Amino acid sequence: MLDKGVVGALEAELEPGTVVTDHEVMESYRYDRALTIRPGRPVAVVRARSTADVQVTLRLASRFGVPVVTRGAGTGLSGGSSAIDGCITLSLERMRSISVDAAAMVATVQPGLLNVEVKAEAARFGLWYPPDPSSYEICSIGGNLATNAGGLCCVKYGVTTDYVLGLEVVLADGRLVRLGGRTVKDVAGYDLKRLFVGSEGTLGVITEATLRLRPPPATSSTVVASFGQVVDSGRAVVQIVSSLRPAVLEMMDGAAITAVERVRPMGLGPDIGALLLGQSDAGPHEVALMAQACEQSGATFVAVTDDPDEGEMLMGARRMAIPCVERLGAVLIEDVGVPIPAIPTLIAEIGAVAERRSTPIPIVGHAGDGNFHPLVIFDPADPAAAERAELAFDDIMKVALSLGGTISGEHGVGVLKADHLAAQLGEVAAELTRTIKSALDPRNILNPRKWV
Ligand SMILES: Cc1cc2nc3c(=O)[nH]c(=O)nc-3n(C[C@H](O)[C@H](O)[C@H](O)COP(=O)(O)OP(=O)(O)OC[C@H]3O[C@@H](n4cnc5c(N)ncnc54)[C@H](O)[C@@H]3O)c2cc1C
């Protein structure tokens, strides 16, 4: 049998304990956090300890023509690391080395470290690794690289790709390639490393990265503003971003706040239409201007605090929003992005979709980036509600595209949005995408779900 063949070959070449076939153990490697997606069943989970293990796995998978789903920490929200029937799930959780070169201001990391561990090790040298997805305590740096993860401070400090100087990648046939290096500037040849950042395990497996670090920012002050009308919070964002560089600018609408309040009460009333949370590390002047922009855009309450604990408490509430909303039902998690001036229109249109489809859609977002997560809630036991939710999910992506935006600002295409990528790319870019995929993975073994 083909499947037995590849498993036997893997077991013969890899150290004992690396290849897992126990069904109970494999169960925990089937899912990611896109909870509406039904994953398949792997034939084996390879828990790689080294780049050499990854090379062996891909060489054999290629030879046997078996699909490989690479897995970091499985916190993805688009189904990218959920298993495919008959696949090898390649887990990188055991590849966890890190070394910091403080003089060069770089960290060389293996993919299995959590984002929070990379930050902590950089901090030991007085340095900072900025990208901070809300899931930073539970997601891997390899997953961040593979999804080009964003986060809260990305509005000022950029996303994952902005910190990648070099990559080590294992290609589909098991060959190893090193791209980029440790230099800050490098324009020799195509920037191939950027092709792999955000490629969601479809082009190669990232086994090491050299990441740029920077000095930590000054302590932040926080502004919190509540709005009666959710669209007014969008207007405030446009005004702030057009003239200031906030370090964080996040939004939660009233329904998202209510969901968080149920889990962690903060005394925020049900009459709030939206909350804007901003931070500045550029001094009191900038925070005052952010507060002023909120007032001018119709905020009903504005407060500023220099207390870092208070600021962190508010940001913590924002980070909890998605899991808190998930307690209300099944959730299709949107991730649309639009150009900044289009934010108020996007927010208004999401409200219209919710009404038209009779479906609750709380909104949270990295507002300063124009990247929002409308959370389409439905009762999975009610087929009509599920159908309306699917339609609402599609409607929101169409709205984003009509505003010159994107179907995914940070979570990636995965399985959840695979049917929608072509609509954004257009014919020529879709053809280019297929050409690149078949050049790098001619046997189509790496996350072989059809994107375009
Ligand atoms: C509560 C919550 C909040 C979140 N907030 C944010 C946020 O603010 N910003 C954000 O961007 N995301 C956010 N996410 C989504 C998720 O945490 C990120 O996408 C993260 O980068 C995934 O990392 P992971 O290690 O869990 O990857 P996984 O889910 O294991 O994998 C993600 C994708 O990357 C591929 N992959 C993983 N590792 C490698 C590798 N080494 N080489 C090649 N391919 C690989 C997988 O095949 C898959 O396609 C959130 C998730 C949750 C649950």
Percentage of the chain lying above the pLDDT 70 cut: 99
Q: What is residue 268's predicted lDDT score, i.e. its pLDDT?
A: 86
Q: Say if residue 11's pLDDT is above 60.
A: yes
Return the structure tokens found at 272.
């709030």
Kindly give the residue spans of alpha helices, DSSP state H, lying in 107-168. 115-124, 141-147, 154-157
* Confidence band of 1 (pLDDT split at 50, 70, 90): very low
Instruction: Residue count of the chain, please give it.
Output: 452
Q: Residue 139 belongs to a domain with what CATH number?
A: 3.30.465.10
pLDDT digits (tens, 9 = 90+) for 257-293: 999 999 999 888 788 999 999 999 999 899 999 999 9
CA of 409 to the centre of ligand 1 (A): 13
Give the C-alpha separation, 116 to 122, whole Å.
Answer: 10
Average pLDDT over residues 31-58: 97
Please indicate, yes or no, whether residues 229 and 285 belong to a single structural domain of this protein: yes
Residue 240 pLDDT: 98
Share of the chain above pLDDT 90, in %: 96
Mean pLDDT of 389-393: 98
**What is the average per-residue pLDDT within 60-82?**
97
State the average pLDDT over residues 107-112.
98
Instruction: Output the CA–CA distances (angstroms, integers) from residue 361 to 108, 179, 259, 373, 416, in the order listed.
Output: 41, 42, 12, 9, 17
As a whole number of angstroms, the distance between CA 158 and CA 148 comes to 11
- Of all protein residues, whose CA lies closest to atom 19 belonging to ligand 1? 76
pLDDT higher than 50, residue 423: yes
Q: How much is the pLDDT for 4?
A: 59
The domain of 312 spans 217-318
- Ligand 1 neighbourhood includes 169 CB (under 6 angstroms): no
Q: Is 77 in the pocket of ligand 1 (CB under 6 A)?
A: yes
On whether both 46 and 77 belong to a single domain, the answer is yes
Number of structural domains in the chain: 3
> Which is more confident, 4 or 25?
25
- Here the CATH number for the domain that contains residue 55 is 3.30.43.10
Distance 116 CA to ligand 1 centre (A): 13
Section 318-328 average pLDDT? 96
Burial class (CB in 10 A: 0-12, 13-18, 19+), 53: buried
The domain boundary residue, chosen from 186, 212, 238:
212
| 13 has pLDDT over 90 | yes
Report the pLDDT value the prediction gives residue 270, as an integer from 0 to 100: 83
**pLDDT at position 219, please?**
92
Asked if residues 434 and 452 have their Cβ atoms less than 8 Å apart, the reply is yes
Residue 396 counted as domain residue: no
Query: Is the distance from CB of 151 to CB of 133 less than 8 angstroms?
Result: yes
The number of the ligand 1 atom at minimal distance from the alpha carbon of 32 is 29
CA of 197 to the centre of ligand 1 (A): 12
Residue 215 pLDDT: 98
* E strands in 140-287: 164-170, 176-180, 205-212, 221-227, 248-253, 274-280
Closest CA to 376 of 411, 407, 351: 351
Element (H, E) at 26: helix 23-27
pLDDT class for 105, splitting at 50, 70, 90? very high
Is residue 27 over pLDDT 70?
yes
pLDDT in tens, 175-209: 999 999 999 999 999 999 999 999 999 999 999 99
**Mean pLDDT over each residue of the chain, to the nearest integer:** 96
Q: Is the CB of 146 under 6 A from ligand 1?
A: yes
- 61-65, 98-102, 379-383, 447-451: least confident range: 447-451
Long-range contacts of 296-300 (CB under 8 A, 24+ apart): 296/236, 296/239, 297/227, 297/232, 297/233, 297/235, 297/236, 297/239, 298/227, 298/228, 298/229, 298/232, 298/235, 298/236, 299/225, 299/226, 299/227, 299/232, 299/233, 299/236, 300/226, 300/227, 300/228
- Please tell me the residue having the least CA distance from ligand 1 atom 44: 201
Backbone angles phi, psi at 242, to 5 degrees: -70, -20
Query: Is pLDDT at 3 greater than 90 in this prediction?
Result: no
Ligand 1 centroid vs 149 CA: distance in angstroms?
7
The answer to whether residue 112 sits within a structural domain is: yes
312 and 222 together in one domain: yes
Q: How far is CA 267 from CA 173, 253, 258, in A?
A: 56, 15, 10
- Report yes or no on 400 lying in a domain: no
Q: 82 and 58 in one domain?
A: yes
**Ligand 1 binding pocket includes 82 (Cβ within 6 Å):** no
- Least Cα distance to 89 among 156, 141, 147, 18 occurs for 18
Do 307 and 261 belong to one domain?
yes
